[in-house]
Structure 1
Amino acid sequence: MRGPNWPGALLLLGVQLRALWPAAAVEVHTSKEVNAVNGTNLRLKCTFSSSSPISQDLSVTWNFQPEDLSSHEPVFYYLKEPYKVPTGRFKERVTWDGNIERNDASIVIWNLQPTDNGTFTCQVNNPPDFYGTIGQVRLRVVQKVHFSEIHFLVVAIGSACVLMIIVVTAVIICRHHRKKVQEKRIEVADAELKEKETLKTREEKEASPLED
């Protein structure tokens, strides 16, 4: 009677355990959507988590797909050190802003343009962790607005305050002018009254010797 086939049984058990135990993978986290103003700079945040310690061969790949769903374009690459793309729309417009030791794989895009509308993907590989989730963030570049609602509100309030100051100043000046005119009239009336009284007194004095 033959004994059990231990090598075969162990191999079969290993296959079964591998099927039950999920493969290690890197989890990548990004914002789903971001908005930015035309001509400004934007930090695309990308963080990751891995079940394995950070490897010397860890790599970060940023790609871009325009809104017309054309082919993906390279944006940035990291392997032990940052690598900028030599050609394309993002040449000299992307800088590394991450920190691998802190599980940060973020980048900064400079001088955003409407042609940058689309979806950016951030993929991190940390051997032996491969084929994890890919972070996706949709970028929407809006035209620069010269006056926002807050600006209009500030201008409206400021204009109202200036107008109120002008009206109050005009009222004060008018009242002051009226008061001066009234005082002048009173002074003239008093002077005329005094002059009349003086003439009357003089006439009375001149008439007194004749009566005697």
Structure 2
Amino acid sequence: MKMMNTSALSHCSLGLSDLIVPTPELTAHVGDSVLMGCVFQRTEEKRVTKVDWMLAENEYVLYYYANFSVPVGRFQDRVRLVGDILRTDGSLLLQDVQEADQGTYTCEIHLEGESMLLKKNMVLHVLPNEPTEVTVHMGDSALMKCDFQNTEKKTVTKVAWTFSSGEHAKNETVLHYDLKFNLLTGYPQHQGRFQNRVTLVGNVFHSDGSIKLQRVKESDGGLYTCSVHLGHLVFRKKVALRVILEPPAMPRSEFLDGNQLVIIVGIVCATLLLLPVSILIVKRTHRNKSSVNSAALVKSLEDMKKANPEKHVYSSITIHEVMEAEDPQGCPEATYMTMHPVRPSLRSLPAGGISKTEQAF
């Protein structure tokens, strides 16, 4: 709440034509309701004679005069004066906010017997429509928002959530909060199925009555109505909850973050750098293996030669068979055969060396 202090009042007595306080800002979605406060606290009681609300200083929104409040133009069915005029409160409630409502609003309060104006500006930013349907998988938690924007940041005095499964179904109480008793209650556990599953997560000191419904069941699907009380003002919002019976799918990242991209690039670069080295190592290993196999083969042949030296010594043997005449009894005489080994130095022997077979009797 903006307050007019004593110094401000002294300025009034000095003949200032009007008094302007700092400009607050509000942000709302299309279809929301906003409360634009225009409150001044004074030490002396003076009757308010007129209140004017304008948009961009050239489009009238509402004016109050002679105890009558009159909405104007396209705001006719969407605005109303909700402040206490007797207490210098000219606050305005704007419902069903539209994109064209965005801009700077000016509130001017005229006091009886004074030429000075109490003036207050505020800026309204309008965002696209916020979805009123919440879709969750069975077993998950559902966040249902119910917050209202206002420049005065009034404390919520009461929050009530009800549920209906169909158009003609009976309303069930989901949650009830009352600041007067500082209680957060629902139906007793044996009567209400929302007991122990609903939590008030909104900040009631900033006009937020949002709730979270945990362990959502198939029967929780339907229409939820939120009622937020700011003193004598009541704001309502409806949220449709749709429950999907299939279990939630595993989350999948569609894009790589910076760290993952750096790691992948590093792996690729390292692979390209190590590939030639790997090829060279493989070739050298293959070459060494071939050399080892060749050396092993040569050594094997040498070992075989050392183990069988007589094979080449007796590689040439001359065999002469001498047949003698048979004796009268028809029995052949014994035949002897002599083998002469070929010596390594055959060329050094004299010509006409041993050429006949010796017979021993």
- Superposition TM-score tier, normalisation by shorter sequence: 0.5 to 0.7
Aligned to 1:49: 149
User: Out of 51, 69, 81, which is 1:18 matched to?
Assistant: 69
Letter paired with 2:312: E
Q: How does 1:27-176 map to 2 (within 5 A)?
A: 31-50=131-150, 54=154, 58-67=157-166, 70-80=169-179, 81=182, 82-86=184-188, 87-130=191-234, 132=235, 134-142=236-244, 143-145=246-248
Secondary structure of the residue that 1:35 maps to in structure 2? strand
Letter paired with 2:219: T
User: Out of 198, 204, 208, which is 2:344 matched to?
Assistant: 208
- Structure 1 102/191 Cα, relative in aligned 2: closer, same or farther at 3 Å? same
Which piece of structure 1 moves more, 111-120 or 39-48? 39-48
- Deviation sequence 1:11-39 (CA, Å, 0-9, x none): x942xx22447243586997412222221
- Deviation sequence 1:106-163 (CA, Å, 0-9, x none): 1121211111111212111222323x4x21222122221465666xxxxxxxxxxxxx
- Structure 1 51/185 Cα, relative in aligned 2: closer, same or farther at 3 Å? closer
Secondary structure of the residue that 1:189 maps to in structure 2? helix
In 2, Cα distance between the equivalents of 1:100 and 1:203?
A: 114
Q: Check the 8 A contact 1:27/1:50 in 2, yes or no.
A: no
Letter paired with 2:80: P
Secondary structure of the residue that 1:194 maps to in structure 2? helix
Structure with more helix by fraction: 1
Q: Check the 8 A contact 1:62/1:75 in 2, yes or no.
A: yes
- Structure 1 40/211 Cα, relative in aligned 2: closer, same or farther at 3 Å? same
- Deviation sequence 1:158-198 (CA, Å, 0-9, x none): xxxxxxxxxxxxxxxxx9xxx69977864653344324555
Q: Aligned pairs, how many?
A: 171
Structure with more strand by fraction: 2
In 2, Cα distance between the equivalents of 1:78 and 1:145?
A: 32
Secondary structure of the residue that 2:148 maps to in structure 1? strand
Secondary structure of the residue that 1:111 maps to in structure 2? coil
Q: Check the 8 A contact 1:64/1:121 in 2, yes or no.
A: yes
Letter paired with 1:98: G
| CA displacement at 1:77 relative to structure 2 | 0.9
Secondary structure of the residue that 1:62 maps to in structure 2? strand
Q: Check the 8 A contact 1:119/1:136 in 2, yes or no.
A: yes
In 2, Cα distance between the equivalents of 1:61 and 1:30?
A: 21
Q: Check the 8 A contact 1:43/1:108 in 2, yes or no.
A: yes
Q: How does 1:2-17 map to 2 (within 5 A)?
A: 13-14=66-67, 17=68
Q: Check the 8 A contact 1:120/1:137 in 2, yes or no.
A: yes
TM-score, scaled relative to structure 1: 0.60
In 2, Cα distance between the equivalents of 1:147 and 1:196?
A: 71
Q: Check the 8 A contact 1:96/1:106 in 2, yes or no.
A: yes
Secondary structure of the residue that 2:298 maps to in structure 1? helix
Q: Check the 8 A contact 1:31/1:136 in 2, yes or no.
A: no
Aligned to 2:21: none
1:189 pairs with 2:297: yes
Unaligned runs of 5+ in 1: 1-11, 151-174
TM-score, scaled relative to structure 2: 0.38
Letter paired with 1:93: R
Secondary structure of the residue that 2:301 maps to in structure 1? helix
